[in-house]
A = this chain, B = another copy of it.
Amino acid sequence: MSWAITRQDLTDLAYGAALLGSGGGGDPYIGRLMAERALDRGRTVKVWDLDEVPDDGLVISTAMMGAPTVMVEKIPSGTEGVGALRALEEHLGRRAIATIPMECGGLNSTLPLVVAAEAGIPVLDADGMGRAFPELQMETFHVFGVPGSPMAIANEHGDVAMVMARDNRAMEWLARGICVRMGGAAMIAEYSMPGAVAKRVSIPGTLRLGIALGAAVREARRLHRDPLEDLAGALAAASYHGPRLLFEGKVEDVFRQTTEGFVKGHARIRGYGPGDTMRIAFQNEHLIAEIDGKPLAVVPDLICILATDTAEPITTESLRYGQRVKVVSISPPEIMRTPEALDVFGPAAFGLDVTYEPSCVG
């Protein structure tokens, strides 16, 4: 059933998006402010359930791509999202009936709401990653064979490029080069598809999930309960498993490099007792959490670093020495754990020589 986003939804979503961002996707705070501004200006953000979209209507995915470290300083002007959408529509000679988030984590949970509000179309309660991933082919859309091209990429100066690539990996490669030249972050519109296809290849309910996670934590805080328990209920309702507490400690060291349109690096977290240290590697998002070389969780499982006192998720670009944190993992829905899906965004896709085992299932 279609509904309209409220201010409370945006606040809750900012939390849920940061959690589902798994350390990446960019700080949802900026996206929340942009969506709030759209509401301030009298716009409505209408949400359609996935099954509401007409089968023959054109759905276009919108998002920001680039390094979250860049997005902290190079804030979207607000026009480039619609700019990318319009450029792709013009190329296709057809208007989109709705936009679908590329990912449901970080900044990219709320930016499609802004695009929807500005373009006057609904946003679908679904996405193509079920979390955040760093690369454009790491999508369930891609797993199910939807071509990402033609795609549009736009910046705050009004520059637009269209990429028509032979496959989705080549699209990522070329678009990343453009993104870097646009300053390391840019808005994109991609994976245009009929509603009937979107229903088949998307992860449903992830916008509601993000809001529900935020609402659960808000309620837990009000009642002085441990938020982790409340998160479990919201996750289970959307076929996610967890969260599981992997580790507690203090951030001891962070190595972080903004390179090739990504932020790449790793963090070391020292436990409070003697002995164990957890190492977490990331490429925009956290990829693997290990102790003494033994992985406790690995992609596509979500690895989230939460501030111990507030349970606020800490993104890779905000991670710093001295933070007291809990590291939790979440296992995604079955659709994201098939062999076909693991080929696209499992450990090997990131060059990790590790076999994926869901950390919160069974």
Residues in A lying within 8 Å of B, measured CB to CB: 87, 91, 157-166, 170, 173-174, 176-178, 180-182
Contacts and interface: CB of A to CB of B under 8 A. Distances in A.
A176 B180 CA distance: 11
B161 A161 contact: yes
Given A157-B170, A159-B163, A160-B164, 11 more contacts: A87-B164, A91-B162, A157-B166, A159-B166, A159-B174, A160-B163, A161-B178, A173-B181, A174-B178, A177-B177, A177-B181
Nearest to A158: B166
A246 to B, nearest CB: 37
Nearest to A90: B91
Nearest to A93: B93
- In the complex, the 4 A-B pairs of residues with the closest C-beta atoms, listed nearest first: A177-B181, A162-B162, A160-B164, A177-B177
A161 B164 CA distance: 6
27 contacts: A91-B162, A157-B166, A157-B170, A158-B166, A159-B163, A159-B164, A159-B166, A159-B170, A159-B174, A160-B163, A160-B164, A161-B162, A161-B163, A161-B164, A161-B174, A161-B178, A162-B162, A162-B164, A174-B178, A174-B181, A174-B182, A176-B181, A177-B177, A177-B178, A177-B180, A177-B181, A178-B178
A180 to B, nearest CB: 6
Give the oligomeric copy count.
2
Contacts of A177: 177-178, 180-181
A47 to B, nearest CB: 31
**Most chain B beta-carbon neighbours within 10 Å: one of A161, A163, A178, A181:** A161
Nearest to A151: B161
Nearest to A177: B181
A160 B180 CA distance: 18
Nearest to A180: B177
Contacts of A162: 91, 161-162, 164
Contact of A165 (B159, B170, B174, B180): B159
A299 to B, nearest CB: 25
Contacts of A181: 173-174, 176-177
A182 B170 CA distance: 9
A176 to B, nearest CB: 7
Nearest to A179: B177
A149 to B, nearest CB: 9
A232 B343 CA distance: 64
A344 B1 CA distance: 58
Contacts of A164: 87, 159-162
Contacts of A166: 157-159
A158 B167 CA distance: 10
A160 B173 CA distance: 12
A187 to B, nearest CB: 14
Contacts of A174: 159, 161, 178, 181-182
A150 B159 CA distance: 10
Contacts of A182: 174
Contacts of A173: 181
A151 to B, nearest CB: 10
A87 B87 CA distance: 15
A159 B160 CA distance: 17
A361 to B, nearest CB: 38
